[in-house]
Each structure stands twice: as structure tokens, then as C-alpha cells.
Amino acid sequence: MKTVSVEIRGTSPLLIHRFGEEAEQGKATRRVKVDNSNPRDEATKVAYIAPDGTFFFNAFSIPACMANAGANHKMRGSRKTLKFIVPSAVRMNSDSVTILNGAGPAKDFEVDSRPVTIPATKGRIMRHRPRFDCWGAKFDLVINDNLLGIDDAHRLLTEAGEYIGIGDFRPEKRGPFGCFRVTAFEEQS
């Protein structure tokens, strides 16, 4: 097992949306409730906010986007793709990754308001979500180098940032948000 310090910088804005208890309670009825509340309040309800007031995203989205990028690469000597190896070979040290804005943690966000389609009902509603235009993150990856080489992990993370993305409405979901580039990938001793 090897630990790698990683730093990423966003090349497109990051859009996040936390599924919370309020959203779960709201699906008890089929009746559509028109709510004319403040868009910033709606976006704040669905933001990942740490107790110290900083914003974060789910750390498991990093190995997930790497696994999706691994679908395009075959293992050496096998017909299996790296998509099935990454979940067991790549681990995160924490459950959350703080969103950085320049030198420090992001303290504020822009509100992104756009209509979304609910797949089950094919209905359209207005969704207000937090958007971070200038963002980055620092985190540690723990890589089982018996299963996945460090160079392969770097390549998968780079491709994931370019083609897959993280967060809501990312390229994997036919959107423009959540793309990033890897600015540091250093193996710790």
C-alpha cells in the first residue's frame, strides 16, 4: 500500500447537490408543491457544509470517477477492465474532501438555477444548487500497488478529470461541470 498526495484544480465549475432528509420527506406525495422560496436558501440546504463553515464534497466520488475512467483500459494479461480493480485498489483516507478556493477553503458559493428533469415522472422542476467557479482540492489516495500501479492510478485520475468529472451535471451525465486537472501527484515515503 502506498500513499499519494494529490492536488486537483477545477477546469470547469463544480456543481454539488446533497441528498438530505428534507428531500426524502418531500417525496411522500405525488402532488407537486410549488415553493417560491429564496434560491440561496434552497442551495444552502443541499450544500455539503462542515461544522467549521467550509464546503466539501464526498470523498468517494474520486475513486468512483477513477473506476469509470478505468472502463477504457484493460488489465495486462486479462480481458477484464480496470473498472473492476479500482474499487479494491484505491482508498481515500477520509470521508470528505474540502473544497478549496485559491489558497484556503471555500467560504461561499454561487447559486446555479436551472430546470432539471425527474426521470421517474418526466416532470421538470427548477433546481437551485451550489456552484463553485474557482475550485480545487487536496487529498491523499491509498493505492494497493500490487493491484494497480502508481502510474496507472495517475493516468486514471487524469483521464477522470478530463472526461468523467465529479459532482452534479458532470460530463459523464452529459453536462459541462466538475472537470479538473491533476496539479500534484506525489508518492509519500
* Nearest C-alpha neighbor of 175 from the set 26, 8, 16, 1: 16
CATH no. for residue 53? Answer: 3.30.70
Each residue's pLDDT tens digit, 21-64: 665 555 555 555 555 678 999 999 999 999 999 999 999 999 99
C-alpha cell at 104: 484556503
What pLDDT, on a 0 to 100 scale, did the predictor assign at position 133? 93
What pLDDT, on a 0 to 100 scale, did the predictor assign at position 118? 85
What pLDDT, on a 0 to 100 scale, did the predictor assign at position 6? 95
What pLDDT, on a 0 to 100 scale, did the predictor assign at position 122? 86
137 occurs within a structural domain: yes
26 occurs within a structural domain: no
What pLDDT, on a 0 to 100 scale, did the predictor assign at position 23? 54
Q: Alpha-carbon distance 6 to 168, whole Å? A: 22
Which domain covers residue 80, as residue numbers? 2-21+48-109+133-187
Q: Alpha-carbon distance 160 to 6, whole Å? A: 14
Ranges of residues in the chain with a pLDDT under 70 are: 21-36
What pLDDT, on a 0 to 100 scale, did the predictor assign at position 31? 57
Angle between helix 150-159 and 61-70 (nearest 10): 100
What pLDDT, on a 0 to 100 scale, did the predictor assign at position 33? 58
148 occurs within a structural domain: yes
Q: Alpha-carbon distance 58 to 102, whole Å? A: 20
152 occurs within a structural domain: yes
Residue 158 CB contacts under 8 Å (≥ 6 apart), including other chains:
181, 182
What pLDDT, on a 0 to 100 scale, did the predictor assign at position 119? 84
What pLDDT, on a 0 to 100 scale, did the predictor assign at position 35? 59
Is residue 128 helix, strand or coil?
Answer: strand
What pLDDT, on a 0 to 100 scale, did the predictor assign at position 113? 93
88 occurs within a structural domain: yes
